[in-house]
Structure 1
Amino acid sequence: MDFLQWLFEARIPVGNGSLLLREVVGNVFGLLSALGGMRRRVWAWPVGILGNLLLLTVFVGSIFGGAGAATLLGQAGRQMMFIAVSIYGWRQWQASRDRGGQAVTPRWAGSRARLGMVSFLIVGTFALTPLFRMLGSYEPVWADAWTFVGSLLATFGMARGWVEFWLVWVAVDIVGVPLLFSAGYYASAFMYVFYGVFTLVGFFVWARAQRTATPSIETLLPDPTLR
């Protein structure tokens, strides 16, 4: 009990301010999960789930972090969504561990699917914004809703092997970075900056793989904690 109290209250001094320890630790778990995912290790999934659980407590700040902490329901919802995806991925990887990875040939989604993705992102953001506002999410609430809907869309796109899913992550990062900075979640914001660059690189890698039409890239779901 003392350890949990320490974990929830501990902060790391940085300059004139401080970072919440569990936010930093949650992102560290996310980084470890990403490294495990690149190496196709089953342990990447449970490590990612631990990171998600920590970040979930961070983003529902008014419950776990005190009255002065901002609540980002979209970010919290993403963690819950990614936990569910990670449980599925964990079971799939465990079952196929001795059979090797399942590869996918990256492909363009096509005009119809692109229109559907754009529509889903815009309509979903408009639909969730009033709900998140009613539940007390941090302003601007539309940005919180945008990151949630975009994350869901990018996860679906990667599962389908669409090259465009990387650009959806870029769109999420463009809105998510200033939102996290304004809400005071600096560790997560800096991680978003890093992954913004990473997703751009990933887009060109998948686009090149699509041109060569070789199934050399695995269908890996996006790392749940670092997004």
Structure 2
Amino acid sequence: MTNIIVEWLLDNKIELLGAILGLSYIYFSIKQHILTWPTGLLTSLLYVVVFYNSKLYADMGLQAYYVVISIYGWYFWVKGKKQNEKKVAVKSTRKILWIKLLVVSIFLYAILFYILSKHTNSDVPHMDSMTTALSLVATWMLARKYLEHWLIWIFVDAFSVGLYLYKGLWATVFLFIVYTIMAVLGYLEWEKDLKNKQKDPKLAFE
């Protein structure tokens, strides 16, 4: 039994390390800590390999995007704050932005589905395209500190649990169950921060 466990750990060491870093990433993002971005960047680099080996090509491309957006988010969280702010403030998503994001999500889904169904051997093009399109939008919203990005993550993470079960990525299944729970906690934490700001703007920067 011990040998089986050790063998599995060795065979899945990249996925396991990515899962551990991924938990750190979600914790730091809930706390609005700048370490969100370097841990997210490292997690994404590891999962490029994991998803390539599992033929989840849209998810693999998503991880490459995460590398880029991690650099952008890192920069924005450091440089995007106003002069009187200690950190970039959480904000709510306006209706007009929701409409734009919906259009972008549908557009991304259509492109990804076409590529996966026509030019790859993906066996889950619909699911892979949908989760990837929504994840692209949610990560941009995180970088800009829109509260409701957590709501998208709750859906995507819960849905992804089923996808990774199908693919037999057990460490990643566990990771995304935890992601789902932590996304709920993240929403509540950021919502509290936003309400404090609305009551007293000074509290958002303490």
**Identity in percent:** 23
1:159 — aligned with what? Answer: 143
Distance change (3 Å), C-alpha of 1:215 and 1:151: farther
Q: Which residue of 2 aligns with 1:3?
A: none
Question: What SS does the corresponding residue of 2:33 show, helix, strand or coil?
Answer: coil
- Which structure 2 residues correspond to residues 132-211 of structure 1 after superposition, within 5 A? 132-136=116-120, 138-211=122-195
TM-score calculated relative to the size of structure 1: 0.70
Query: Aligned residue for 1:122?
Result: 106
Instruction: Choose from 23, 28, 48 the match for 2:20.
Output: 28
Unaligned 5+ runs, structure 1 = 1-9, 62-69, 219-227
Does the 8 Å contact 1:126/1:142 carry over to 2? no
Q: Offset of 1:132 from its aligned partner?
A: 1.6
Matches of 2:160 and 2:20, distance apart in 1? 19
Q: Would you say 1:81 and 2:81 are equivalent positions? A: no
1:39 shift after superposition = 7.9
> Please, what is the CA RMSD of the aligned residues?
3.1
Equivalent of residue 106 in structure 1, options 78, 81, 91: 91
> 1: CA distance between counterparts of 2:144 and 2:183?
17
Q: Deviations over 1:115-147 (max 9, x none)?
A: 332333233212310202233253221111112
Residue-by-residue CA offset, 1:38-94 (whole Å, 9 max, x unaligned): 48355x644443332221111001xxxxxxxx3001211121111112234455678
C-alpha distance 11-48 of structure 1, shift in aligned 2 (>3 A): farther
How many correspondences in the alignment?
193
Could you tell me whether the CA contact under 8 Å between 1:103 and 1:216 is conserved in 2?
no
Residue in structure 2 matched with residue 58 of structure 1 by the alignment: 50
Query: Does the C-alpha gap of structure 1 residues 208 and 33 become closer, same or farther in structure 2, counting only changes over 3 Å?
Result: closer
User: 1:33, 1:47 within 8 Å by CA — same for their partners in 2?
Assistant: yes
Q: Specify whether residues 200 and 90 from structure 1 end up closer, same or farther in structure 2 by C-alpha distance, changes over 3 A only.
A: closer
What stretches of structure 2 of length at least 5 have no aligned partner? 1-5
Q: Is the 8 A contact 1:105 1:215 kept in 2?
A: no
Change (3 A) 1:157 1:72: same
1:40 aligns with 2:33: yes
Could you say what secondary structure the match of 1:104 adopts? coil
Report the secondary structure of 1:138's partner residue.
coil
Q: 1:181 to 1:36 in 2, by over 3 A?
A: same
Cα distance in 2 for partners of 1:137, 1:199 equals 31
User: Structure 1's 217 and 174: CA in aligned 2 closer, same or farther, altered over 3 A?
Assistant: farther
Deviation at 1:195, TM superposition (A): 1.0
How far 1:217 sits from its partner (Å)? 6.0
How far apart are the structure 2 equivalents of 1:178 and 1:208?
31
